[in-house]
Amino acid sequence: MTDVLKFDFCIMHIYDHYMVVEINEGVHLTPEHNQILINISDTYYRNRPFVYLTHRINSYSVDPAIYKETSKISNLAGFAVISKDYKAKSNAEIEKLFLNKPFEIFDTLPEAIEWANHVISA
C-alpha cells in the first residue's frame, strides 16, 4: 500500500508496515496532532505492527507530552527520526527519553526503511 495523506500540518506516506511523515515548516506538534497519528494507525495498521518514520526535512518543534500517548500505541513497533541536521538530531536524542519504544536516528530515509523492515521481521 502506498497511500498519501495530506493534512494542514504534514504529509503522510503510508506503506505496508511503516509510515513516512514529513511535518510542515514551523509547526509546533501538539497532542491534538498526535491524535491524528493514533487514528491513522487504527485505520491502516489495525492489529499489525508498524514503524513511524519522521523525515525531518523541515524545521518544527515537538511537545514532549506527545510521546506519553504515542508510547501507548500497542502496535507501534518502532520510531525513527531521519535528518542530517545536527540540531534536529540533538532534539531527537532528547525526545528519545520520552518514548517507550525502539527509537533510532538516521541520516537517510533508506537507512531508516531498512531498520523498519528489520524491526517488523524481528
Which one is predicted more confidently, 37 or 107? 107
Rounded-to-integer distance, Cα 33 and Cα 113, Å? 23
Please give the mean pLDDT across all residues of the chain.
Answer: 93
Locate the domains of the chain by residue range: 3-121
Give 21's pLDDT tier (boundaries 50, 70, 90): very high
In CATH terms, 3-121 corresponds, of 3.30.70.270, 3.30.750.24, 3.50.50.60, 1.10.8.60, to: 3.30.750.24
97-105 average pLDDT score: 94
Nearest 5°: the CA angle 54, 16, 111 is 45
42-46 average pLDDT score: 93
Share of the chain above pLDDT 90, in %: 81
What is the tally of helices (H) and strands (E) in the chain?
A: 4, 8
Give 1's pLDDT tier (boundaries 50, 70, 90): low
Question: Going by C-beta distance under 8 Å and a sequence separation of 6 or more, which residues neighbour residue 105?
Answer: 80, 81, 82, 83, 89, 92, 93, 96
Reference 112, options 1, 7, 21, 12; nearest CA is 21
DSSP-derived pairing of the beta strands 76-82 and 3-6: unpaired
pLDDT of 13 reads 97
57-81 average pLDDT score: 92
44-67 average pLDDT score: 93
Q: What is the pTM of this model?
A: 0.94
